[in-house]
Amino acid sequence: MLGLNKKDTLLFWIVAALALLAPFILNPFPEGSSLAQMFNAGYPDLMQRFVIFGILVIGFNILFGLTGYLSFGHAAFLGIGSYSAVWMFKLVGMNVIPAILLAMIVSGVFALLIGYISLRRSGIYFSILTLAIAQMCYNLAYSVLGNPSSNFNLTNGETGLQLSLDDARILGESVTAEGALPVTNFFGLAMRSSYQMDVGGWLFTFNAGYYLSAIIMLVSFYVSIRIFRSPFGLMLRAVKSNQQRMNYTGLNTRPYILAAFVISGIYAGLAGGLLSSMDPLAGAERMHWTASGEIVIMAILGGVGTLIGPVLGAGFNEYFKNILSKINDNVLHDWLGFLPDGFENLLVGFLHYFVGKGWHLTLGIMFMLVIIFLPGGLVQGGQRIARLFRRKKNSDETQQTPAE
């Protein structure tokens, strides 16, 4: 279908089904139960983050997974995309399409510039260059271009760029009739509007913004499959396996890598634009080097160089980040209430260090476990499970090479 082979088509449909049915899949526990309060993730904000960070890491994977160039400054493009989109909301109007387009264009231009400079080096030097440039962007956004008392306040510093009632919005209204800020919309369909479905004890939320992001994610995913399977993708892989040999055959590889860098920058800008479309505020922390590191972590968690890995890695990271930081001692007491008192307090006292403010620690441990036992990321875990079942069915089948 659509120029995909059978296996890729299946993969695409799996991702499509996961994305479109997410409100059901992510809300496995009935509303009101204590498990639901903690583990249900089927609320608009988190679902949007799943797919938006999915887009970001899919794009990152085109660069890192195919060419092996580890960009440590990818968050800069996310931030640039976010700021561009918010400026579009401030100056032009609240429709998300122009904002997303501008975000992609601006981040693409930045990627071209940054890529042109940093791709003169490879390996660790490339990573350091991208890291340094991204930190420069961060500092510009945080401090230099963001002081409200100066005449040129592009980013509004630490507070983040926000909409205000006196923005121009030449193609829309500055203030709604009720005196509020207009909301971001897709030709009139508000991004925050959602439809809630009550089924028995369950409550499923279908959010317009989520579905827009999910569809864009699917398109991005499709494009990424096509790139992986194209001659261009093959060239990038060749760069990864031995760039020197490519050069000796008389082939100039830099344009190919630069193209991959720009494409992945545009993906990041798209993700940034979408983030701002869902919630029109752009903060400088989005560009901080820890945010760049998080992108690398998501890619490695899911499985570098695989098609579905980025989506899984982004989902895993965002889910645990949100869930763990919200568990507090009260919740723990609720769960462990069935234990004898002394033991309960001891256990809560111990677990206290792993939840709430300790969410970094737990996420770090999980990351280490995945890297140590599944160096190929979550995708490798899935393959192992699949192989386990296959072996039961027909044990004589020869072992397959791992899927992409």
Partner 1 sequence: MSKSNFTRRGMLKTSALAGAGVALPTIFTASSAAAYMNEPKGGSVTLGFNVPQTGAYADEGADELRAYELAVEHLNGGGDGGMMNTFSSKALQGNGILGKKVEYVTGDTQTKSDAARASAKSMIEKDGAIMITGGSSSGVAVAVQGLCQEAGIIFMAGLTHSNDTTGKDKKANGFRHFFNAYMSAAALAPVLKNRYGADRKAYHLTADYTWGWTQEESIAAATEEMGWETVNKVRTPLAATDFSSYIAPVLNSGADVLVLNHYGGNMVNSLTNAVQFGLREKMVNGKQFEIVVPLYSRLMARGAGENVKGILGSTNWHWSLTDEASQAFVKSFGEKFGFPPSQAAHTCYVQTLLYADACERAGTFNPCGIGEALEGFEFDGLGNGPTLYRAGDHQCFKDVLVVKGKENPTSEFDLLEVVEITPRAQVEYPVDHPMFAGGALGACNAG
Helix/strand/coil (H, E, C) string of the chain?
CCCCCHHHHHHHHHHHHHHHCHHHHCCCCCCCCHHHHHHCCCCHHHHHHHHHHHHHHHHHHHHHHHHCCCCCCCHHHHHHHHHHHHHHHHHCCCEHHHHHHHHHHHHHHHHHHHHHHHCCCCHHHHHHHHHHHHHHHHHHHHHHCCCCCCCCCCCCHHHCEECCCCCCCCCCCCCCCCCCCCCCEECCEECCCEEEEEECCEEEEEEHHHHHHHHHHHHHHHHHHHHHHCHHHHHHHHHHHHHHHHHHCCCCCHHHHHHHHHHHHHHHHHHHHHHHHHCCEECHHHHCHHHHHHHHHHHHHHCCCCCCHHHHHHHHHHHHHHHHCCCCHHHHHHHHHHCCHHHHHHHHHHHHHHCHHHHHHHHHHHHHHHHHHCCCHHHHHHHHHHHHHHHHHCCCCCCCCCCC
Note whether 110 and 96 are within 8 A (CB). no
Number of residues that bind partner 1 (CB under 8 A): 54
Q: Which stretch binds partner 1 (CB under 8 A): 101-109, 279-287, 336-344, 365-373?
A: 279-287
Minimum separation from the CB atom of position 37 to partner 1 (A): 7
* Near partner 1 in 289-308, by CB under 8 A: none
By CB under 8 A, is residue 183 in contact with partner 1?
yes
In this complex, which beta carbon is closest to partner 1, that of residue 353 or of residue 373?
353
In this complex, which beta carbon is closest to partner 1, that of residue 245 or of residue 326?
326
> Torsion over CA of 374, 376, 381 and 386, rounded to 10 degrees?
-140
* Near partner 1 in 16-75, by CB under 8 A: 37, 40, 43-46, 49
In this complex, which beta carbon is closest to partner 1, that of residue 223 or of residue 246?
223
In this complex, which beta carbon is closest to partner 1, that of residue 148 or of residue 342?
148
* Near partner 1 in 128-167, by CB under 8 A: 142-143, 147-149, 157-160, 162-166
Minimum separation from the CB atom of position 284 to partner 1 (A): 8
Which tokens hold the place of 196?
């809630």
Minimum separation from the CB atom of position 174 to partner 1 (A): 11
Q: Which stretch binds partner 1 (CB under 8 A): 171-179, 243-251, 258-266, 304-312?
A: 171-179
Minimum separation from the CB atom of position 113 to partner 1 (A): 25
* Near partner 1 in 323-382, by CB under 8 A: 325-326, 328, 356-357, 359-360
Which amino acid type is present at position 195?
A: Y
In this complex, which beta carbon is closest to partner 1, that of residue 356 or of residue 381?
356
Minimum separation from the CB atom of position 360 to partner 1 (A): 7
Among 105, 128, 251, 281, interactor with partner 1 by CB under 8 A? 281
Residue 403's nearest CA partner among 14, 42, 2, 11 is: 11
Integer Cα distance of 362 and 259 in angstroms: 37
Minimum separation from the CB atom of position 262 to partner 1 (A): 26
Minimum separation from the CB atom of position 55 to partner 1 (A): 17
In this complex, which beta carbon is closest to partner 1, that of residue 352 or of residue 390?
352
In this complex, which beta carbon is closest to partner 1, that of residue 258 or of residue 351?
351
Binding mask 188-217 for partner 1 (x = CB under 8 A): xxx-xxxxx--------xx-x---------
Q: Which stretch binds partner 1 (CB under 8 A): 228-236, 237-245, 322-330, 381-389?
A: 322-330
Binding mask 220-249 for partner 1 (x = CB under 8 A): ------------------------------
Which tokens hold the place of 378?
């979550």
Which tokens hold the place of 301?
């968690």
Minimum separation from the CB atom of position 165 to partner 1 (A): 5
Please tell me the total number of residues recorded for the chain in this structure. 404
Binding site for partner 1 (CB under 8 A): 1-3, 37, 40, 43-46, 49, 142-143, 147-149, 157-160, 162-166, 175, 178-181, 183, 188-190, 192-196, 205-206, 208, 279, 281, 283, 285-286, 322, 325-326, 328, 356-357, 359-360
